[in-house]
């Protein structure tokens, strides 16, 4: 079993839809949770960063962490064609030597 599980999709939604992307994990030591967006043939770019449990909102994006369920989510409101990309969840523990563990990514397609 992988430490981080993420549905690869693809997820296809119409413009304006609310998108929900999710990851589950098995390691209870994870403390830091991130969402990266990766456009085709580009490097990942950080979208959201959350420490421990709770919600964080940034514009159209909301990240949620439920440590009791070992489940994290990224919501995108009013989705746009420019949101079409692969979304990677990532997480790690508190130690400086802990490595960042990525999900395999969910491919999102927003059509006009």
Partner 1 sequence: DSGVTQTPKHLITATGQRVTLRCSPRSGDLSVYWYQQSLDQGLQFLIQYYNGEERAKGNILERFSAQQFPDLHSELNLSSLELGDSALYFCASSPRGAGGRETQYFGPGTRLLVL
Q: Contact positions toward partner 1, by CB under 8 A?
A: 31-32, 34, 36, 41-46, 49, 51, 88, 90-105
CB of 83 to partner 1, least distance (A): 19
- CB of 72 within 8 A of CB of 48? no
Cα Rg of the chain (Å, integer): 14
Which is nearer to partner 1, 36 or 64 (by Cβ)?
36
Taking Cα atoms as reference points, which of 22, 17, 28 lies closest to residue 5? 22
Q: Are strands 61-66 and 71-76 parallel, antiparallel or unpaired?
A: antiparallel
Per the listing, tokens 């990309």 go with 85
Which is nearer to partner 1, 41 or 59 (by Cβ)?
41
CB of 26 to partner 1, least distance (A): 16
CB of 46 to partner 1, least distance (A): 5
């Amino acid at each position: 079993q992988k430490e981080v599980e993420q549905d690869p999709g693809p997820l296809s939604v119409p413009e304006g839809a609310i998108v929900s992307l999710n990851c589950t994990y098995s390691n209870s030591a994870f403390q830091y949770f991130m969402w990266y967006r990766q456009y085709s043939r580009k490097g990942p770019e950080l979208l959201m960063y959350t420490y421990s449990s709770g919600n964080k909102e940034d514009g159209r994006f909301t990240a949620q962490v439920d440590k009791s369920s070992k489940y994290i989510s990224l919501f995108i409101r009013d989705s746009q064609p420019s949101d079409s990309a692969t979304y990677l969840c990532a997480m790690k523990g508190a130690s400086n030597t802990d490595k960042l563990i990525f999900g395999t990514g969910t491919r999102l397609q927003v059509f006009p």
